[in-house]
């Protein structure tokens, strides 16, 4: 599945730096009420390299539209594939991948 999240994954001195930009409207309860739309925001993010979880977070409505995530981890090498998955309040899921350079 090709996702809508843009990911950059770079290895430097044994540490992988991830920069990810998710495409999502992130409508909080207050914003949705004002716009007369349905509430919907990303509630869970997980990143894996192979079977190893390298990042996991429960999120809330207080992230901005099209949220930007940045995190680092050790234990991967150039050529490994990072898989980043997020789920939102409506149950929609996005799975995006990037090769570590």
For residues 28 and 83, which has the higher predicted lDDT (pLDDT)?
Answer: 83
Pairing of strands 81-88, 93-99: antiparallel
Domain that holds residue 34: 5-100
Measured between alpha carbons, how far is 72 from 44 in angstroms, rounded to an integer?
18
Q: How many domains does the chain have?
A: 1
Question: What integer pLDDT is reported at residue 32 of this predicted model?
Answer: 87
Question: What integer pLDDT is reported at residue 97 of this predicted model?
Answer: 96
For residue 58, pLDDT beyond 50 = yes
pLDDT digits (tens, 9 = 90+) for 18-54: 999 998 888 888 888 888 999 999 999 999 999 999 9
Q: Contacts for 33-39 with beta carbons within 8 Å, 24 or more apart?
A: 38/90, 39/89
For residue 68, pLDDT beyond 50 = yes
Residue 89: CATH number of its domain: 2.60.40.10
The whole-model pTM stands at 0.86
């Amino acid at each position: 599945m090709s996702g809508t999240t843009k990911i950059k994954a770079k290895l430097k001195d044994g540490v992988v730096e991830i920069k990810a930009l998710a495409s999502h409207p992130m409508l909080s309860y207050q914003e949705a009420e004002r716009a007369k739309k349905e509430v919907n925001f990303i509630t869970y993010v997980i990143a894996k390299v192979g079977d190893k979880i390298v990042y996991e977070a429960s999120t809330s409505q207080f992230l901005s539209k099209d949220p930007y995530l940045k995190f680092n981890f050790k234990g991967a090498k150039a050529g490994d594939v990072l898989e980043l998955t997020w789920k939102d309040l409506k149950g929609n899921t996005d799975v995006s991948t990037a090769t570590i350079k």
